[in-house]
Structure 1
Amino acid sequence: MRSVKKQWEMVIFDLDGTVLRSDKTISLRFQTAVTLAVNEGIKFAFATGRTLENVINLVNTIPAIPADAYIIACNGALIWQRHDNKIIRSVFLEQKDITVINDFATQINTPCFIIDNQALSTPFKEISAININRYSALTVKTSGIDWNNPKLTAPKMMFIASDNEIDDIQRKISVSLSESYHFVRSEPSYLEVMKKGVHKGAASHYLSEYLNIPPSRIIAVGDEYNDIEMLEFAGLGVAMGNARLEIQNSADWVTLTNDNEGAAYVIEHWILQK
């Protein structure tokens, strides 16, 4: 039997569709597996498109999440170190970037949002909050932000619409725009925009160097397009059984679905060797 610590030293999990079940809960079996793996010296990180504040609130409700866990938030724009409540890396869109994305949104007549104080903010004055709230529970605001403020920054921006409408937005992205920014689908109705080179894979690479853990000893687990770079980076890239077919085809291994203990099974099979 191989040495656990020698083979694998860290697991990076996506949250929605991976650790979180369809009802947005985390199973006791997963929490038990994490506790046993921590006892074996394994480190954990959680990589998500969610805002840092949102993830911190979630993590603080789960006793099994280790004190020295790391959070990769906003698709890689932020990395937070839990044990001393410190952001160790941040790469934000600047005001000039936000203007460029909003100009593109104006051209295609589709609002793009930043998340400010747990609300979706946009300079679009005429917008149906009802339509947006079909896909997001956050409040929609069209005032309160000075979009011309040179100090304005954001970790990411978001287009929120139906699956087909997001498909249409992606087709309208120019080559020059795609060369300047990283567009990625985090869910069927979310198209997110970050600085070029900002994604979960780049953040995982930074964390790997920060902790002196080689990629070959890291397992990464996810289910969506915004997980692809992270799965490619890791020594073992695992797709959830509920992942899109493209993600499963790009992974090294496919586990069970998020509603069938797929995240727990990754730890049990590869770390605990049950």
Structure 2
Amino acid sequence: MVYRLLALDIDGTLLSSNNRLDRQTKDAIQYAQKKGVIVTLVSERHFHSAAKVARALRLTKPIITHSGAFVSSSMDDPVYTSKIDHSVLMQLAEFLETYPCQIQMSHERLSISNRPHQKNLIAKMTIGMNEPLFYPVTYVDSLSQYLLENYEGATDVKVKLQDTKVVDDLEHALSDYFPSIDAWRTAPDSLTLVRQGTSKFNGLLFFAGQLGIPLHEIVAVGDGIEDTEMIEKCGLGVATRNAPADVKAKADWVTRSNDMDGVAYMVREVFRKQIRVH
């Protein structure tokens, strides 16, 4: 089998546990590209953050970010977007503000969050939920008031609850009242909300379709529950050893962990016998 596209999750897959990009991994990506394989990133990260990783790997093709909601190689010229409409976002903000929670609404340019109660946070900066790098956030007293004055959509909304017992109730309420929204749990106290149909797999599917590459010619590598669909449906689905058992069960192959250069090992094993793709 000749594989023409390599799709890589970032956190827990491409990067080690200390968020470093090892030399072996960089060399392996260059090796795959010299074979003519197109390499892209498929991440829940913001575009700003994922683009830094792409530059470090010298990737030139569009990357799939914001959990599949923003596919682009630049900030200003996306090839695909999937955003929660402003009207829905307004209703969502009013609804979520009735819960004791931290809400972060993002698109490719910025994030807006309700003001946290902690007094010792760095002004205008926070560690984003599920984001190991600093990312600029504008804090406002009321998200619903902000949206009344600013006509914006969002690629994703992250919610962090103060009480983990409320998460189940909130999930059910979102399903009942917001059918145009998909929600999944990213931690026992956290949810990510996106426009219905938005996923890392669907973002990858669109990108591959633009290139004329069928699913069976894609290698997808990941470690999280949100990676399961692309691991299961692509030609070769690879999970890292540090992935949960449910994810590894869906994979065609389990490579080494992200702290044992799992991506580098997988790339060498899969592509060393493959002739150069033209």
Sort the TM-score into its range (normalised by shorter chain): 0.7 to 0.9
Native 8 Å contact 2:220 2:230 kept in 1: yes
Deviation at 1:271, TM superposition (A): 1.4
**Alignment partner of 1:111 out of 102, 107, 114:** 102
- Pair 1:85–1:109, CA change in 2 (3 A): closer
Deviation at 1:142, TM superposition (A): 2.1
Aligned-residue CA RMSD in angstroms?
3.0
Moved more, 172-181 or 244-253: 172-181
Deviations 1:51-99 (A, max 9, x none): 1122223322x1x4333x32101000110136x9731011111212212
Query: Residue type of the partner of 1:267?
Result: V
Deviation at 1:241, TM superposition (A): 0.8
- Which SS does the other structure have where 1:270 is aligned? helix
Query: Residue type of the partner of 2:31?
Result: L
Native 8 Å contact 1:44 1:70 kept in 2: no
Query: Residue type of the partner of 1:110?
Result: C
TM-score (norm 1): 0.83
- Pair 1:133–1:11, CA change in 2 (3 A): closer
- Alignment match, 1:89: 80
**Alignment partner of 1:21 out of 13, 16, 22:** 16
**Alignment partner of 2:71 out of 79, 82, 85:** 79
- Alignment match, 2:36: 41
State the number of aligned residues: 262
Native 8 Å contact 2:46 2:108 kept in 1: no
**Alignment partner of 2:26 out of 14, 24, 31:** 31
Native 8 Å contact 1:220 1:231 kept in 2: yes
Deviation at 1:186, TM superposition (A): 4.6
Deviation at 1:105, TM superposition (A): 1.7
Query: Residue type of the partner of 1:262?
Result: G
Deviation at 1:101, TM superposition (A): 2.4
- Alignment match, 2:91: 100
Question: 5+ residue gaps in structure 2?
Answer: none
Query: Does 1:256 find its partner at 2:247?
Result: no
TM-score (norm 2): 0.82
- Alignment match, 1:211: 211
Identity, % of aligned positions: 19
- Pair 1:100–1:273, CA change in 2 (3 A): farther
- Pair 1:49–1:190, CA change in 2 (3 A): farther
- Which SS does the other structure have where 1:16 is aligned? helix
1:1-274 map, 5 Å: 7-60=2-55, 62=56, 64-67=57-60, 69-81=61-73, 86-115=77-106, 120-122=111-113, 124=114, 127-128=117-118, 137-138=134-135, 139=137, 141-143=139-141, 146-149=146-149, 151-160=151-160, 165=164, 168-174=166-172, 175-177=175-177, 179-186=179-186, 190-273=190-273
Alpha-carbon distance in 2 for matches of 1:134, 1:66: 24
Deviation at 1:118, TM superposition (A): 7.6
Moved more, 8-17 or 84-93: 84-93
Question: 5+ residue gaps in structure 1?
Answer: 1-5
